[in-house]
Amino acid sequence: MSPLQLLFFFFSIFLHCTYSSPTVQTLNVQPQYYNPKLPPRALSSSKKFEGSSDLVHLRYHMGPVLSSPINIYIIWYGKWVPAKQLLIKDFILSISPTSRPPSASPSVSDWWRTVSLYTDQTNANISRSVLIAGEYSDHRYSHGTALTRLSIQQVIATAVKSAPFPVDHKNGIYLILSSEDVTVQDFCRAVCGFHYFTFPSMVGYTLPYAWVGNSGKQCPEVCAYPFAVPAYMGGGGPGALKPPNDDVGLDGMVSVIAHELAELASNPLVNAWYAGEDPTAPTEIGDLCEGLYGTGGGGGYIGQVMKDRKGRTFNMNGRRGRKFLVQWIWSPVLQACAGPNALD
């Protein structure tokens, strides 16, 4: 090699190192996918990612699942603006495969297909028909701005007593969504949402319900992870991811809603599908996949997900062009966590 050729060789290396884009940590997959590594989530003791059911022991306890078409009644508790309500409703309405036009793949309805694999003792599958059957706005905070688990049932009672909000004890589930200025018992410390059923003494019927809070101001680093991470988790990764709809609290809330709806459908009376022997503290099909959003998740990775042109992170598509980042669900067929964006 002549001195001129040698000079050109080193100059080419210099140009490549100076102007090439920074390396993004991946698992050698399609270019639209990437596998962000986040600091260890010390707030969660869950290590159940793409593991084996030999360790999980998920069992059916003979109770009902939501096999009939599912009517969701939303209770908006606190102050909500229509744009934020519309985002959540778009996610819920994306669950049914009958939405027109159909969502692009990977889709929310494909994600719910995993949920629908669960059956009851008659082999009836969880319904894939999920509709918003009614809404009620409790913008006057009828039970205050600090709720307990019991007073949440009172919120439902107030809603069903306010015509035309019905008591649908056959196909209905009730979804209470509290605004970011409402505190709830154990919120941010032990739970980001939960599901249970109402006591007949409170509402008149046994009604499956779920509550999810907006953590945007109270604890985004806990309940909107990975769009926010605790300050003490500095280093070890790129930090918080950009939410798909530019709203940390709301985008985090969507994933928690998905988690709770999947568990409510498969374990509505806390006597159907769960792991463990204590029905008061069950490990359910969403819990088994906590923190996992794509292939290769675990060890600080959320798994391989996608970015849009603005760098916003998502793993599935919804109606009207919406994008969401929603955690995976345990599949009874694969005996592992599964999602529509899986690459294997």
Q: What is the pLDDT of residues 235-261, one digit of tens each?
A: 444 568 999 999 999 999 999 999 999
Q: Is 191 strand, coil or helix?
A: strand
DSSP label of 36: -
| Helix/strand/coil for 85 | helix
Supply 83's token pair: 């744009």
What is the Cβ-side half-sphere exposure of residue 285, based on CA atoms within 13 angstroms? 34
Q: Which is nearest to 249 in space by CA: 269, 224, 276, 222?
A: 224
pLDDT at 39: 59
Name which of 58, 63, 288 is nearest 197 in CA terms: 63
Strands (E), 63-141: 70-77, 130-138
Neighbours of 57 (CB within 10 A): 11
Taking CA atoms, 108 is separated from 102, 147, 219, in Å, by 10, 31, 26
* Mean pLDDT for the chain overall: 85
For 40-90, strand residue ranges (E) read 58-60, 70-77
- pLDDT value for 102: 81
Q: What is the pTM of this model?
A: 0.86
| pLDDT above 90 for 136 | yes
> How confident is the model over 197-207, as pLDDT tens digits?
999 999 889 99
Residues ≥6 apart with Cβ < 8 Å to 122 = none
The predicted pLDDT at position 117 comes to: 98
**Side chain identity, residue 228:** A
Judge contact between 117 and 127, C-beta under 8 A.
no
Distance between CA atoms of residues 273 and 205, nearest Å: 22
Structure confidence at residue 98 as a pLDDT band (50, 70, 90): confident
The answer to whether residues 37 and 235 touch, using CB atoms and an 8 Å cutoff, is no
Q: Would strands 323-324 and 329-331 be described as parallel, antiparallel, or unpaired? A: unpaired
What is the pLDDT averaged over residues 316-344? 94
Give the pLDDT of residue 165: 81
Residue 125 carries which DSSP code?
B
Mean pLDDT of all residues in 278-306: 89
pLDDT at 171 over 60: yes
**Which one has a higher pLDDT value, 12 or 178?**
178
User: How high is the pLDDT of residue 46?
Assistant: 36
pLDDT of residue 123 exceeding 50, the answer is yes
Is pLDDT of 27 > 70?
no
Average the pLDDT over 96-105 and give the result.
83
Q: What is the pLDDT of residues 34-91, one digit of tens each?
A: 778 775 554 333 333 334 345 568 999 999 999 999 999 999 999 999 999 999 999 9
- The pLDDT score that the predictor gives to residue 234 is 56
The pLDDT assigned to 6 comes to 38
Provide the b/e sequence for 71-102 (b: ≥16 CB within 10 Å): bbbbbbbbebeeebbebbbbbbbbbbbebeee
% of the chain exceeding 90 in pLDDT: 69
Residue 318 has pLDDT above 70, yes or no: yes
The distance in angstroms from the start CA to the end CA of the chain is 46
